[in-house]
Structure 1
Amino acid sequence: MTMMQKVFGFEGRLRRRDYWLINIGFTVIIVVITLVSFAIFGDYEKGSGPTRVVQYVLYIPQLWIGIALALKRCHDRNKGGGWVVFFWLVPVVGWIWGFIELGFLDGTQGRNRYGKSPKGIGGETDSKLAEIFA
């Protein structure tokens, strides 16, 4: 899976490591862009103006990437996309559960209904070895 597919796509599975690295990296980018916007336009005190427009423009890709990453982590845990809605829209319980489920629990070992393991576990070589040593 390419980096563009990991960040913007809705299919496949995503490892915890990639989930955290992409989330942290994208958050740093958003913060830097916002701070640069504050420095250039100087409208921090106003609460409106060009910086607010920049934040609104950044909200759409931020939402898209957040949904894509959460969905692929759910797929790695062998769960459907409805769980993303639960994790995001149910206050406190959903947020904590989603944080633990997506950020800390290991994905399904081997292949599941959403594809092969992103760790390479349970690939063709494993099934061939199972046939040989069965």
Structure 2
Amino acid sequence: MQWYVKVLQNYAGFQGRARRTEYWMFTLISVIISAILAILQSAAHLSLLLTGLYSLAVFIPGLAVAARRLHDTGRSGLWILIALIPFIGAIILLVFMCLDSQPDENQYGTVPK
């Protein structure tokens, strides 16, 4: 949970680097929260209210942590845009997010480990 809170505290921080743990824990907790909200939304017969609001709330932090994760692998945050290419773009982005950090300091900052 600390990783999730850390990302939210650095709400719009696109500078620096993010470890794999930070990115994937944020993603995991976001998916779990979205699933719980979808179940509650369905039970209460609300039309996309809960999940829509939650998605809007974590959109910018999600982009920021993804950009920082790409920085950690030595890539520009603009590589996020590759996800706009259907199917192949998402696979390439997934591979980038799974890659190990650069072991030394790069142009985006020091090693976060």
Q: Same-fold call, TM > 0.5?
A: yes
Count of residues in Structure 1 that have an aligned counterpart in Structure 2: 107
Q: CA RMSD in A?
A: 1.7
Which residue number corresponds to residue 118 of structure 1?
A: 112
SS at match of 1:13: coil
Larger Rg: 1
- Conserved in 1, the CA contact under 8 Å of 2:41 and 2:48? no
Structure 2 stretches of 5 or more lacking a match? none
Structure 1 stretches of 5 or more lacking a match? 44-49, 120-134
Aligned counterparts of 1:96 and 1:73: Cα–Cα separation in 2: 16
Which residue number corresponds to residue 51 of structure 1?
A: 47
C-alpha displacement of 1:77: 0.9
Aligned counterparts of 2:12 and 2:57: Cα–Cα separation in 1: 9
Relative to the length of structure 2, the TM-score reads 0.83
Which residue number corresponds to residue 74 of structure 2?
A: 78
Matched, 1:93 2:88: yes
SS at match of 1:27: helix
- The one-letter amino acid of 1:57's match is L
Which residue number corresponds to residue 47 of structure 1?
A: none
C-alpha displacement of 1:65: 2.6
Greater relative CO (CA pairs within 8 A, separation 6+): 2
Aligned counterparts of 1:31 and 1:105: Cα–Cα separation in 2: 27
